Amino acid sequence: MTLTAIISDIHSNTQALEAVLDDAREQGAERYWCLGDIIGYGAQPIECLAIVREISSQTIRGNHEQAVLDGPTGFNPLASAAITWTAAQIKQGAHLMNDGLEYLQSLEERKDLETATLVHGSPSHPLDEYLFREDTLEYLPQRMEERPKIARCLERVEQPCFVGHTHVPGVIDEESRWTSPLGCEAGYDTKGARCFVNVGSVGQPRDGDRRASYALWDGRVVNFRRVEYDVAAAAELIFAAEGLPDMLGHRLLEAW
């Protein structure tokens, strides 16, 4: 089986991305898939787009790519400021990439591959819907009969579905149960069944662990990985970028 490194939510963080790629190579990854939000929040959007375009064989669109194309409607002020700044960077062009907007435009919202489906958020609303631990039976047992979000989303996939968007890694299975990476340290065997595997975020983890998150996939078993990187350097670049709120740098250091 081909070993695939699945990355998501890089958010313009080159330091985190390069650390993840180094780790994936060491682990024997033979190819890379990317679940979107390559850009937004961090200080190096062009660099991250150029790297992902180069290495990723399957890349889908995230809500931040969409927002750079369409404008930041419906985003909170922090995200909105970052999107405006990022769009300006991409439109200015750069030596690394002078067709950034065309590249973003070329990305599809969903891919159904041989062993997995890829979306950024959920199969119901690929760009915008979050699949949270709080949507699972653990939190909503009484609502299973009412066809809540997970049941609705399961109807739209036929195999393991990889997602990002929440920046919190974990698996939601066919019974709407949540498994965190700590609950499957030897690997999570999907057995090819329908489930949602959130690979977490490379460049802006929100689960209190500031190390970059991604997953390895052999076509059946998922292994979650966390990778140390130079968080302070990524934060410094944000502090130095005029137009990016400093809060986005502090956020990387605190992983919220």
Binding site residues, Zn ion, CB under 5 A: 9, 37
Least separation, in Å, of the C-beta of 242 and Zn ion? 23
- According to DSSP H, which parts of the chain are helical? 14-26, 45-55, 63-70, 77-92, 100-106, 149-154, 231-240, 247-254
| The two structure tokens encoding residue 20 | 């993840």
Closest residue to Zn ion: CB criterion: 37
Whole-number minimum distance, CB 1 to Zn ion, in Å?
28
Query: Nearest approach, Cβ of 71 to Zn ion (angstroms)?
Result: 17
Q: Between 12 and 179, whose beta carbon lies closer to Zn ion?
A: 12
CB of 167 to Zn ion, least distance (A): 6
Nearer to Zn ion, 179 or 201 (CB): 201
* Dist. CA 244–CA 33, nearest whole Å: 28
By residue count, the chain amounts to: 256
Torsion of CA 15, 73, 128, 2, to 10 degrees: -40
Least distance between Zn ion and beta carbon 194 (Å): 23
Nearer to Zn ion, 41 or 190 (CB): 41
Of 23 and 37, nearer to Zn ion (C-beta) is 37
Alpha-carbon gap, residue 234 to 18, rounded angstroms: 12
Please say which residue, 172 or 176, places its beta carbon nearer to Zn ion: 172
Reduced to 3 states (helix: H, G, I; strand: E, B; else coil), residue 197 is strand
